[in-house]
Amino acid sequence: MNQKVRHIIFALSTLTAALSVHAQETAYKASTVNKPINIVNIASLEAQAEAQMQAGAFGYIRGGAEDEKNLRSNTSAFDKKYIMPRIMQGIELKDIQINTKFLGIDLKTPIIQAPMAAQGLANIDGELSTAKGMAKAGSIFSLSTYGNKTIEEVAQVAGKSPFFFQLYMSKNDKFNEFTLKRAKQNGAKAIILTVDAAVGGYREDDIKNNFEFPLGFANLELFAKQNGDTAKTGKGTGISEIFAQAKQGFTPADINYVKKMTGLPVIVKGIQSAEDADMAIRAGADAIWVSNHGGRQLDSGPASFDVLPSIAKVVNKRVPIVFDSGVRRGSHVFKALASGADIVAIGRPVLYGLQLGGAEGVNSVVEQFNKELRINMMLAGVKDIEAVKQTRLYSDKDFE
């Protein structure tokens, strides 16, 4: 080998090493912590997480659609209703019980975790840490189709603890069948069929930050690898490119398709009108999930809490109701249960807890909600979740 060739090889090896170091330096760095977190209130976690996250990742998690009116009203809507204090009910704090049951699953709390994509943005172990945290809380973890971990990885971590799988239906039925089959085989207790995101809302934070996912969606990557598929799998793409691959023309027949494919209960998520709730139940839904996607879709839509009572009236206990969007206090959980929900799901607070404390941080978030819920129950004179569901809420017109 002559001297010139040696110089070329040395230069190439040096360049390769430099590029490797640069790639490591610029690679996305998520939190690696795993510890309980001290929480004064859930709302304060947002600013703490923002201080520690890259702007694009935080904006993707926090952001809502358009002017974010719907995002804000989801929480402020709870202020329209009041819990009447009740005294001399003969109840002590030790008497308060918050355990409940959902779809035959025993839970230590009426609070479950809403499915959320790309949890690797918040913590290096992503969905695996969230699953561990929710298991410790005695609750349910829900894995998104667009999670950074596979169904198999979550199932291994979950062990005997229950988990649900949330399906964003693809335009490619081979992907739907491949994914649903794996969810069934790996022990998912139910399928959450999300129907309110056939197209993504106009989320300006993602646009301003020119946000692209730094990590791949593991279930999409697995399908692509095993089936030679060339569809986008997350890394290096924006959310609009991912949504472009999702099914748009939903019909009630899709509910039966998922039920037949898995034999599992199907929870239809994204219900915001009484008419759609009734249609979903008639089509075979085993539960409905009242949600406006946390204010990330239709900014001009109503707050989820505002539509819950009318939906609950039409459902009339034919199937259980899950509720989410805007929940930031134990009192919000109480009010949702008193307005017709059977279970309350939380979203962003879980991710903030995940970022700040990993699996233990997730558990800390649920514990804070539980603590506040118990206090509200005690002061309202009710000792269990069934009693909360029978509680009448009040509004300003009741005091005129």
Q: What SS3 state is found at 352?
A: helix
Residue given tokens 């039409």 in the structure block = 314
| C-alpha–C-alpha distance, residues 93 and 375, integer Å | 8
Is 22 assigned a catalytic role? no
325 is in an annotated binding site: yes
296 is in an annotated binding site: yes
**Which of 7, 22, 293, 332 is an active site residue?**
293
194 is in an annotated binding site: yes
Look up residue 205 and give its amino acid. Answer: D
Question: SS3 sequence, 263-307?
Answer: CCCEEEEEECCHHHHHHHHHCCCCEEEECCHHHCCCCCCCCHHHH
Ranges of beta strands (E only) in 327-384 are 343-346
| C-alpha–C-alpha distance, residues 147 and 120, integer Å | 8
Greatest extent of the chain over all pairs of C-alpha atoms, in Å = 97
Residue given tokens 């269990």 in the structure block = 384
328 is in an annotated binding site: yes
Look up residue 242 and give its amino acid. Answer: I
Q: Is the dihedral of CA 86, 88, 90, 92 positive or negative?
A: positive
60 is in an annotated binding site: yes
Strand partners, 113: 346
326 is in an annotated binding site: yes
Q: How far apart are the first and last CA of the chain?
A: 96
Nearest C-alpha neighbor of 74 from the set 354, 298, 361: 298
301 is in an annotated binding site: no
332 is in an annotated binding site: no
| C-alpha–C-alpha distance, residues 199 and 192, integer Å | 18
203 is in an annotated binding site: yes
Nearest C-alpha neighbor of 330 from the set 354, 359, 306, 365: 365
| C-alpha–C-alpha distance, residues 389 and 375, integer Å | 16
Look up residue 272 and give its amino acid. Answer: Q
Look up residue 305 and give its amino acid. Answer: F
Which residues fall in the annotated binding site for FMN? 115-117, 144, 166, 194, 269, 291, 324-328, 347-348
Known binding-site residue numbers for glyoxylate: 60, 168, 203, 293, 296
Q: Which residues are catalytic?
A: 293
